[in-house]
A and B are shown apart, each in its own frame.
Chain A
Amino acid sequence: MGFGPLLLLASLEGLVTAATLALMALGLSLVFGVMRVVNVAHGEFFMLGAVVAWAVSTAFAGHPAIGFSAALIVAPLVVGAVAFLAERLVLKRLNYDPEATIVATIGLLYIVQQLALTFYGADARPVQPPFNLRIQLPWFGYSGYKLAVIAAAGVLLAGVWFVLARTRAGLVMRATQYDAETAQAFGIPVGRVYAGVFALGAMLAAVAAVLIVPVSQAHYLMGRDPLLLSFVVVIIGGLGSLRGTVVAALLIGLSDGIISTLFFSPTLAKILATLLVALVLVFRPQGLFGTAAR
Chain B
Amino acid sequence: MNDTSAARIWLLHLAVIAALVAAGFLLPDYHRGVFSRILVLAVFAMGYNLLLGYCGLLSLGHAMFFAAGLYGAGLPLYHLGWGVPAAFVAGVAAGGALALVVGALALRTVGVAFMIVTMMFAQVAYLTTLYFTTWTRGEEGLVLPPATRRVGLGDTVVSLSDPASRYAIALVLFCVVLLLMLRLVRSPFGRTLAGIRENEERMRMLGYDTFRAKLAAVVVSGLACAAAGAAYGLLFGYVGSGFASIQYSILPLLWVLVGGAATTLGPLLGTAFMFYVIDYASGLTTAWLVLVGAALIFIVLFFPKGILGTVRERWLTWLP
Contact = CB atoms under 8 A, between A and B. Distances in A.
Nearest to A38: B112
A279 B109 CA distance: 11
B128 A107 contact: no
B112 A98 contact: yes
A285 B297 contact: no
Interface in B235-285: 250, 253, 257
Interface in B109-150: 109, 111-113, 115-117, 120-121, 123-124, 127-128, 130-131
B188 interface: no
B94 to A, nearest CB: 18
Interface stretch (B6-14, B219-227, B286-294, B310-318): B286-294
B287 A106 contact: no
B123 A99 contact: no
B232 to A, nearest CB: 22
Interface residues of B, number: 38
B213 interface: no
Contacts of A102: 58, 60, 112, 115
A103 B116 CA distance: 13
B293 A110 contact: yes
A115 B300 CA distance: 21
A268 interface: yes
B120 A114 contact: no
A107 B108 contact: no
A111 B293 CA distance: 5
B319 interface: no
Contact of A267 (B131, B253, B257): B131
A281 B124 contact: no
A94 interface: yes
A245 to B, nearest CB: 16
A65 interface: no
Given A115-B290, A285-B113, A100 B127 contact: no
Given A38-B115, A274-B124, A104 B297 contact: yes
B21 interface: no
Interface string A3-30: 0000000000000000000000000000
A265 interface: yes
Nearest to B249: A106
Tell which of A38, A93, A103 has the most Cβ of chain B within 10 Å: A103
Nearest to B301: A93
B287 A99 contact: no
A40 B111 CA distance: 15
A278 B293 CA distance: 27
Contact of B120 (A100, A107, A113, A278): A278
A124 interface: no
Contacts of B287: 114-115, 117-118
Most buried by B among A100, A113, A283: A100
Nearest to B123: A274
Interface string B65-106: 000000000000000000000000000000000000000011
Nearest to A278: B120
Contact of B128 (A93, A271, A281): A271
A99 B124 CA distance: 23
B127 A282 contact: no
A38 to B, nearest CB: 5
A103 B257 contact: yes
Contact of B296 (A99, A106, A268): A106
Contacts of A113: 289
29 contacts: A38-B115, A90-B301, A98-B111, A102-B60, A102-B112, A103-B253, A103-B257, A103-B296, A103-B300, A104-B297, A106-B253, A106-B293, A107-B294, A107-B297, A107-B300, A108-B293, A110-B289, A111-B297, A114-B287, A114-B289, A118-B290, A235-B116, A267-B130, A274-B123, A275-B120, A275-B121, A275-B124, A281-B117, A285-B109
Interface of A: 38, 90, 93-94, 98-100, 102-104, 106-111, 113-115, 117-118, 228, 231, 235, 265, 267-268, 270-271, 274-275, 277-279, 281-283, 285
Given A107-B293, A282-B109, 20 more contacts: A38-B116, A90-B297, A93-B301, A94-B300, A98-B111, A98-B112, A99-B111, A99-B115, A117-B287, A231-B120, A235-B116, A270-B127, A271-B127, A271-B128, A274-B127, A277-B120, A281-B109, A281-B113, A282-B108, A282-B117
